[in-house]
Chains A and B, each alone.
Chain A
Amino acid sequence: MAEHKQDPAGVPMTMIQALRSGLDVMMGRDDNVIVYGEDVGYFGGVFRVTEGLQAKYGKTRCFDAPISESGIVGTAIGMAAYGLRPVVEIQFADYFYPATDQIVSEAARLRHRSAGDFSAPMVIRMPCGGGIYGGQTHSQSPEAFFTHVCGLRTVMPSNPYDAKGLLIAAIECEDPVIFLEPKRLYNGPFDGHHDKPVVPWSKHERGRVPEGYYQVPLTKAAVFRPGKAVTVLTYGTMVWVSECAAREAGIDAEIIDLRSLWPLDLETIVASVQKTGRCVVVHEATRTSGFGAELAALVQEHCFYHLEAPIERVTGWDTPYPHAQEWAYFPGPARVGAALKRAVEA
């Protein structure tokens, strides 16, 4: 399925509305798409992503689930094995842990262990990320738990257009997809300047979203901002922070929004770093064994003779996500900008 070009005729949507539109489009196209999770049905989700879907498609297509992450994921695996395409929600990424066994041992491996006899085409949506005073259990970025698991696809959009297109692609994908939604970006882009008013998506070109069906492929990164001086590998909220940091530091950075974390678009990454000779990896998640380590290793393996500086990583600290110290923890434009300078001056 070819990717739609950004459609200037699209209608303004927040990321929440874009995700809802993606679910609506797919539920309309395919009776096998089933949506459930905690507070997802009648109430429409604590973030409103599933608002109106139960009224439109009925209680057997969109329904509330007991508070049991392993039950939600475990039943979805059974539904997928039957032939449905469940799209389930874990209310916060911080609460996926009780479902770890079902995700890692079951959904990810079902096709392989049965040699294709059974498979689990399903999507697990999880709001993730910090920058919202969410504290320890409403701010985590657990993507590295998933990228480490063979058989899973891990995806994270940074804007409404991609959110809808990637979600549709994830629902149509034959593999289990972990779909991480940066809740900080639900209502508008966020560049890390928490002291400035947030610009809503309605004032942004990437907040224009086609109303119908389109896909953003799960195999392609996006060059968010072309540049020559340094490559920034990032995703989610940090795409916006990185763009702001480069602008403020006056550095011609090429910012790559990975979109699909794993499997990823190595070609785009390698082409960029071979061009710039420098690389900064930026993510909110904690540093040690975070996904940035894999990115740095891949760049080192594939671009060693092109590198003119050590690969930098700007990440969350190796601590639980704090509450009061939110902005000391969150890797904002100042920290990213400093790393960009170190990289280009090295």
Chain B
Amino acid sequence: MTPHTALKLHVPEPTGRPGCKTDFSYLSVSPAGAVRRPPTDTSPADTADLATSLVRVLDDDGQAVGPWAPAIHPERLRRGLRAMMKTRIFDARMLLAQRQKKLSFYMQCLGEEAIAVAHSMALQDGDMCFPTYRQQGLLLARDDISLVELICQLMSNERDPIKGRQLPVMYSYKRAGFFSISGNLATQVPQAVGWAMASAIKGDTKIASAWIGDGSTAESDFHTALTFAHVYRAPVIINVVNNQWAISTFQSIAGGEGTTFAQRGVGVGIASLRVDGNDFLAVYAASQWAAERARANHGPTLIEWETYRAGPHSTSDDPSKYRPADDWQRFPLGDPIERLKKHLIAIGEWSEAQHEQAQKTLEAEVVAAQKEAESHGTLLDGRVPSAAAIFDDVYHQMPEHLRRQRQQMGV
């Protein structure tokens, strides 16, 4: 007989399931302004405390406090607020369009708007983001990307810039520093590191920004990317958006139980921060810090953004089957739009009336764009790109076998 007790397999569970409340005490939250801001040339080992605490700027009264409070002009903040509002309105309209079968599929970023929008404002032209499917804010924060074109991609219509080849949301905008989105999770992270290495090899000044969700950190490419970023001191920001959920899987199953994703970075020698992802000012400040660090050849930064996936994973998902319906209302870090709005009002740079007006203007803008996009066709009316377009771009020049197959198709 063995003197040991029987071994037990531990399978993590979220505290909240449908019908019972989530206990958010697992989420370690620091008070606003409490976490130190090291110099951008800090050594990765010295960021261990930052990888477990939470960088926050906005306090409960909407005031910007502490060492991370960025010097940012109120006009830029208003721009950021409008971009977040536009992103949320856009998502809501596209969700509706999916329900009306005008597009086949959609993914909202409800509740995560601050991360992509504020981060994008901290980057420079020429920097390249390697996003997942939930960083539409990177595009919606820009004035040079037409809403009409985005919706044309979603509708896979005759004006879709990627010719109907990809699922909705899988945008590609090289000119906006937005890398082509792939359905395969985590693959873009080593690619971002490689892009950053290329920039360093050429003595350029551009940096890369990689994006990944909490669930996908379990993919081997996450580990791979951290190793390469560390080994070559690549000028890259590795953004882990911890929205607590990977479809139905709570972040503890991805390896988040009793630890943080930011700590992974410290472990491989990358300076790491854990930041309130619903705090626009904290996102902007941390992004700026990491960008400065990369641009000054101090190496990569990993940032874990704590947020909450407020909406369903996608239009094919029903979260009420695996988590409490009111979970977002109870999430300790709140709503990024409400928090920035409160701050701008608190500092006298915004008002309820202005907010209402902006909401109306943006809604009208999105509705008009949708109308124009629909004039180029929708999945419902079948005005999609030509079938002959399937064969283009497989190779730089079409090989004979594809020419024959296209002829066989009769197009």
**Chain A 307-335, CB within 8 Å of chain B: the 1/0 string?**
00000000000000000000000000000
Of the candidates A34, A74, A112, A150, which one forms a contact with B165 in the assembled complex, judged by CB atoms under 8 Å apart?
A: A112
Alpha-carbon distance A117/B193, docked complex (angstroms): 19
**Chain A interfacial positions (CB closer than 8 Å to B):** 34, 60-61, 65-66, 68, 70-71, 74-79, 81-84, 86, 98, 101-102, 105-106, 109-119, 150-151, 153, 173-175, 219, 263, 266
**B255 interface residue (CB < 8 Å to A):** no
- Residues on B with beta carbons closer than 8 Å to the beta carbon of A101: 184, 187, 221
Q: Which residue of A lies closest to B161 (CB)?
A: A115
**B215 interface residue (CB < 8 Å to A):** no
A-B contact pairs, 17 of them (CB 8 A): A74-B190, A75-B193, A76-B194, A78-B190, A78-B196, A79-B195, A81-B195, A82-B202, A83-B198, A84-B202, A105-B183, A106-B191, A113-B180, A114-B174, A115-B161, A117-B161, A263-B395
**B71 interface residue (CB < 8 Å to A):** no
- Residues on B with beta carbons closer than 8 Å to the beta carbon of A117: 161-162, 172-174, 180
**B332 interface residue (CB < 8 Å to A):** no
Of the candidates B161, B197, B225, B394, which one forms a contact with A112 in the assembled complex, judged by CB atoms under 8 Å apart?
A: B394
Alpha-carbon distance A328/B193, docked complex (angstroms): 45
Alpha-carbon distance A65/B234, docked complex (angstroms): 13
Residue pair B231, A66 in contact (C-beta under 8 Å): yes
**Chain B interfacial positions (CB closer than 8 Å to A):** 128, 130, 161-163, 165-166, 170, 172-174, 179-180, 182-184, 187, 189-202, 208, 220-221, 224-225, 227-228, 231, 392-397, 399-401
- Residues on B with beta carbons closer than 8 Å to the beta carbon of A109: 182
Residue pair A71, B224 in contact (C-beta under 8 Å): yes
Residue pair B184, A263 in contact (C-beta under 8 Å): no
Beyond A78-B197, A117-B174, A118-B180, whether A71 also contacts B190 by CB under 8 A is yes
The 10 closest A-B pairs by CB, nearest first: A78-B194, A74-B190, A75-B194, A174-B396, A82-B198, A114-B180, A78-B191, A78-B195, A114-B172, A263-B399
Q: Which residue of A lies closest to B397 (CB)?
A: A174
Residue pair B165, A115 in contact (C-beta under 8 Å): yes
Residue pair B191, A77 in contact (C-beta under 8 Å): yes
Alpha-carbon distance A113/B194, docked complex (angstroms): 20
Besides the known contacts A82-B202, A113-B170, 15 further A-B residue pairs in the complex with CB atoms under 8 A apart: A34-B201, A70-B221, A74-B221, A75-B197, A78-B195, A82-B198, A82-B199, A105-B182, A106-B182, A106-B191, A109-B182, A113-B162, A115-B392, A153-B395, A266-B400
Number of A-B contacts (CB under 8 A): 145
- Residues on B with beta carbons closer than 8 Å to the beta carbon of A102: 187, 190, 221
Alpha-carbon distance A219/B400, docked complex (angstroms): 10
Of the candidates A61, A74, A113, which one forms a contact with B225 in the assembled complex, judged by CB atoms under 8 Å apart?
A: A74
Alpha-carbon distance A110/B166, docked complex (angstroms): 11
Of the candidates B128, B208, B220, which one forms a contact with A98 in the assembled complex, judged by CB atoms under 8 Å apart?
A: B220
- Residues on B with beta carbons closer than 8 Å to the beta carbon of A174: 395-397
Alpha-carbon distance A109/B393, docked complex (angstroms): 9
Residue pair A75, B227 in contact (C-beta under 8 Å): no
Nearest CB in chain A: distance from B331 CB, A = 33
Alpha-carbon distance A150/B401, docked complex (angstroms): 11
- Residues on A with beta carbons closer than 8 Å to the beta carbon of B397: 174
Alpha-carbon distance A110/B393, docked complex (angstroms): 9
- Residues on B with beta carbons closer than 8 Å to the beta carbon of A78: 130, 190-198, 208
Beyond A105-B184, A118-B179, whether A111 also contacts B166 by CB under 8 A is no
- Residues on B with beta carbons closer than 8 Å to the beta carbon of A175: 395-396
Nearest CB in chain B: distance from A248 CB, A = 35
Of the candidates A66, A81, A116, which one forms a contact with B393 in the assembled complex, judged by CB atoms under 8 Å apart?
A: A116
Residue pair A113, B166 in contact (C-beta under 8 Å): yes
- Residues on B with beta carbons closer than 8 Å to the beta carbon of A81: 128, 179, 191, 194-195
Q: Which residue of B lies closest to A153 (CB)?
A: B395
- Residues on A with beta carbons closer than 8 Å to the beta carbon of B172: 113-115, 117-118
Alpha-carbon distance A114/B180, docked complex (angstroms): 6
Residue pair A111, B393 in contact (C-beta under 8 Å): yes
Alpha-carbon distance A106/B184, docked complex (angstroms): 8
Alpha-carbon distance A174/B395, docked complex (angstroms): 8
